Amino acid sequence: MSDTDTFDYAMPSLGADMDEGRVIEWRIAPGDTVHRGDLIAVVETEKSDIDIEIWHDGIVEEFLVDVGQLVDVGTPIARLRAVGAGAETAPVTARPHESGPAAPASAPASLRQPAPAPASTPDDRVPASPLARRLAAEQGIDLHAVSGSGPGGAVTEADVVASASAQAGGGAEAPEAVPAAPPAGPRRSADTMRSLIAERMTTANREIPHYYLSRDLDVGALEGWLAERNESRPIAERILPAACFIRAVALAAARHRELNGFWIGDRFEPAESVNVAMAISLRRGGLVTPHIERADERSLDEVMAALGELVTAARTGNLRASWMTGATITITHLGDSGADLVHGVISPPQVALVGFGRSRDRAWVVDGEVVVRPVVTTTLAADHRATDGAVGSRFVATLAQHIDHPEDLL
């Protein structure tokens, strides 16, 4: 039981609406050496098939579940042997063969162990930011059980939040108050996804005092600049307006950090990085919100490539687990569906959601003359506990500035 050389990888929770899943394909075999970030299996959930990643180096010893077997979140699914000095960093694990109600929901980044932590390094040996450490203490989270995404594998506050949210029953988008799903329910129907979204959004609306700001943006400069740029580029390198919106939101969020982070307990915790989630609707119903990590630090081309990857993965059922937790702000872009304006619902524990409507020609006044310009209405839904309208308004102004100067988005 306390064989610290081996560790188990548990069925991760990939969203608030997941309490069970099945491995439909192993991408590894016993004897394989795996490294942090490697894809190890494809897991089928109600929403989608998701590629799951391993968070620690190791050698695969054995599979603990069969392909196709439906198991609860938190159930160990594979046993690995730590490599090298791995005992220092190897996650401590759920007990072999333990499953069912006792196993906490486990994020991909958090192979959780019921407290107390067994023989392992003390918390101060886990590289973590001071804020992450404090948050973990407040939330009763064992830092050993959280996989760090910071420099050198350091645990960041976003990792802790993701882990906390997962423990509470879902991914980063999950309200903490959502009751954990029953440990062993029947296989979900598509209707269940609807009811889970209903539950989450109800909680968000009940607990978050939203305020809304909007602004009409003249996107003539942006569209003209994109058309010219795309003209000279092969089709695979063309940029969509949505990528520009993501960059503009990321840059604005990086400047107005009060809107980029998490409301935890009774206070706002700014995030260290800007991870922009994009709401992507699924044609069979519902939506997913994978994120683009550090979108403020990436080029427009990189953001466009990442967006393409996310949308394709969402639509074809190949989402990666790491995309599903840790978002710090979310965008909903209803431009393609015909709506002019969206007043969105924030995904807790985030504190802001930015909406974009469709581009339509409008009468617009430029230098005292009425001209026809393509206009997009953007909205900010923000958590009034975390910020006031003045902050939101400055955010919207910065956003507008970036849309006016698309070359700055590169």
Q: Is 336 in the site for another protein (CB under 8 A)?
A: yes
Nearest to 344, CA basis, from 192, 252, 213: 213
For the chain, count helices (H), then strands (E).
8, 20
Of 21, 58, 76, 241, the residue at the interface with another protein (CB under 8 A) is 241
Lookup result for tokens 């990939």: 14
Task: Give the Cα separation of 6 and 87 in Å (integer).
Answer: 8
User: Which value, to the nearest 10 degrees, does the dihedral of the CA atoms of residues 22, 60, 136, 44 take?
Assistant: -10
Q: Is 221 in the site for another protein (CB under 8 A)?
A: no
Span near another protein by CB under 8 A; candidates 3-11, 39-47, 238-246, 322-330: 238-246
To another protein, the closest distance from the beta carbon of 233 in angstroms equals: 10
Q: Which is nearer to another protein, 208 or 313 (CB)?
A: 313
Span near another protein by CB under 8 A; candidates 50-58, 203-211, 246-254, 331-339: 331-339
Q: Please, what's the b/e burial string for 115-139 (b: 16 or more CB within 10 A of its CB; e: otherwise)?
A: eeeeebeeeeebebbebbbebbeeb
Task: Check the CA dihedral 269-270-275-281 and report its sign.
Answer: positive
Q: Is 337 in the site for another protein (CB under 8 A)?
A: yes
Of 36, 134, 315, 394, the residue at the interface with another protein (CB under 8 A) is 315
Of 122, 179, 187, 283, the residue at the interface with another protein (CB under 8 A) is 283
Contacts of 242 (CB under 8 A, 6+ apart): 278, 307, 333, 335, 356
Q: How many residues bind another protein, per CB under 8 A?
A: 22
Span near another protein by CB under 8 A; candidates 16-24, 73-81, 123-131, 307-315: 307-315
Nearest to 200, CA basis, from 218, 237, 221, 174: 174
To another protein, the closest distance from the beta carbon of 316 in angstroms equals: 6
Amino acid at the residue 108 = P
Q: Tell me if residue 258 falls in helix, strand or coil.
A: helix
To another protein, the closest distance from the beta carbon of 96 in angstroms equals: 37
Q: Is 236 in the site for another protein (CB under 8 A)?
A: yes
Span near another protein by CB under 8 A; candidates 60-68, 147-155, 335-343, 364-372: 335-343
To another protein, the closest distance from the beta carbon of 243 in angstroms equals: 10
Q: Is 360 in the site for another protein (CB under 8 A)?
A: no
Task: Give the Cα separation of 7 and 4 in Å (integer).
Answer: 7
Q: Is 230 in the site for another protein (CB under 8 A)?
A: yes
Strand pairing of 319-320 and 49-53?
parallel
Q: Is 191 in the site for another protein (CB under 8 A)?
A: no
Residue 180: count other Cβ atoms within 10 Å of its Cβ: 16
Interacting residue ranges for another protein, rule: CB under 8 A: 227, 230-231, 234-236, 238, 240-242, 283-284, 307-308, 311-312, 315-317, 335-337
